[in-house]
Amino acid sequence: MDYRSIDFSLRDGVATLVLSRPARLNAFTAEMHAEIRDAMDRVEAPDSGARVLVLTGAGRAFSAGQDLSESDAGAAPLDVGATLERNYNPLLARLRALPIPVVAAVNGVAAGAAANLALACDIVIAARSASFLQAFAKIALIPDAGGTYTLPRLAGLPRAMGMAMLAEPVKAEDAERWGMIWKCVDDADFPAAVEQLAAKLAAGPTGAYARIRRALLASPDNDFDTQMALELALQREAGAQADFAEGVHAFLEKRPPRFSGR
Ligand code: T3D
């Protein structure tokens, strides 16, 4: 498939998907969703070699969320649920199930569904000039793309409620301070920081990362005993992987590990 709304590359284990409609701040269209589905097929292919997926935006924005020119049905009522059903919900579910880490490299404003897409990623790194905007209330909608699940868990209920109802941008450094994202870095350092982060994850223990994600995402909904049982099961699996043996050998031999991702 030829891409018009995204760019995609896969090199050295790093899959990079760039939302790329800069004149519309990379707003999501049906075409962009179709291209993302195609790129995700490539990432998920068993022989893809992808060990980390980086999502980012072209130009000055990460993405302004849904392209509202596609949401204008004129006088007819629009089934907004259909857009979620067809596009956003499957995408979010797919990212969450991906057996490799997903990084949101938030280069600029992330609004609406794009803010929640970014916040659902495993690691969110943002340029200092970036911001997160729950724009939905401005157009009389509610946060979607997992926002009502993610926001209270990341930021606590008072901040989630404020962000959702007031629809004011949250600066990247506030998002970091509130514990919503991993890190905010100066704009000049952002490209190198993203590259280093992606390279580190691509060389890491991929299977352990997938199990870390499963355990941490399950945690808020589990009681202590259930979580301990989950840890036990996942740790047993992790301990049976070649990467665990390599990690231990490397430690004992005082050398850096060479993880294969298996
Ligand atoms: O089907 C459904 O609707 C359901 C799905 C819902 C999911 C959602 O994501 S709902 C939320 C949709 N997003 C928004 O409401 C955000 C709208 N955009 C903004 O609030 C602002 O653009 C930003 C705060 C993101 C950035 O502001 P600023 O001042 O830096 O840029 P700008 O001038 O507003 O935008 C630049 C251009 O991008 C402009 O076009 P122009 O005037 O240069 O021709 C603007 O119209 C366009 N643009 C920005 N956001 C969107 C958009 N065009 C279409 N859809 C957009 N979401």
Ligand 1 pocket residue status of 64, Cβ below 6 Å: yes
Are the C-beta atoms of residues 186 and 126 closer than 8 Å to each other?
A: no
pLDDT at 73: 72
Are the C-beta atoms of residues 164 and 137 closer than 8 Å to each other?
A: yes
Q: Whose CA is nearest to atom 47 of ligand 1?
A: 24
Ligand 1 pocket residue status of 68, Cβ below 6 Å: yes
Ligand 1 pocket residue status of 209, Cβ below 6 Å: no
pLDDT at 74: 74
Residue (of 153, 173, 174, 170) closest to 162 by Cα position: 170
Are the C-beta atoms of residues 10 and 51 closer than 8 Å to each other?
A: no
List of residues 6+ apart from 187 with CB closer than 8 A: 127, 128, 129
| Top mutation candidate among 5, 33, 68 for ligand 1, by most atoms within 8 Å of CB | 68
| Top mutation candidate among 19, 20, 24, 25 for ligand 1, by most atoms within 8 Å of CB | 25
Q: Whose CA is nearest to atom 21 of ligand 1?
A: 64
Ligand 1 pocket residue status of 110, Cβ below 6 Å: no
Residues of the chain falling short of pLDDT 70: none
Using CA atoms, how far apart are residues 12 and 198, in angstroms rounded to an integer?
10
pLDDT at 204: 98
pLDDT at 77: 79
Q: Whose CA is nearest to atom 56 of ligand 1?
A: 67
Ligand 1 pocket residue status of 65, Cβ below 6 Å: yes
Instruction: Give domain 6-202's CATH number out of 1.25.40.20, 3.30.70.1400, 3.90.226.10, 3.40.250.10.
Output: 3.90.226.10
Range 206-252: architecture per CATH: Orthogonal Bundle (1.10)
Name the residue ranges covered by the structural domains of the chain.
Answer: 6-202, 206-252
Residue owning tokens 């049905």: 73
Q: Tell me the per-residue pLDDT of 42-99, one tens digit each, with 9 for 90 and over.
A: 999 999 999 999 999 999 999 999 999 998 777 777 899 999 999 999 999 999 999 9
Identical fold for domains 6-202 and 206-252, yes or no, is no
CA of 231 to the centre of ligand 1 (A): 42
pLDDT at 68: 96
Ligand 1 pocket residue status of 71, Cβ below 6 Å: yes
Please give the structure tokens belonging to residue 9: 């590359």
Cα-flanking dihedrals φ and ψ of residue 81, to 5°? -60, -35
Using CA atoms, how far apart are residues 156 and 153, in angstroms rounded to an integer?
6
State which ligand 1 atom lies nearest to the alpha carbon of 169. Answer: 24
Are the C-beta atoms of residues 146 and 116 closer than 8 Å to each other?
A: yes
Average pLDDT, the chain: 97
CA of 27 to the centre of ligand 1 (A): 7
Are the C-beta atoms of residues 178 and 119 closer than 8 Å to each other?
A: no
Are the C-beta atoms of residues 66 and 19 closer than 8 Å to each other?
A: no
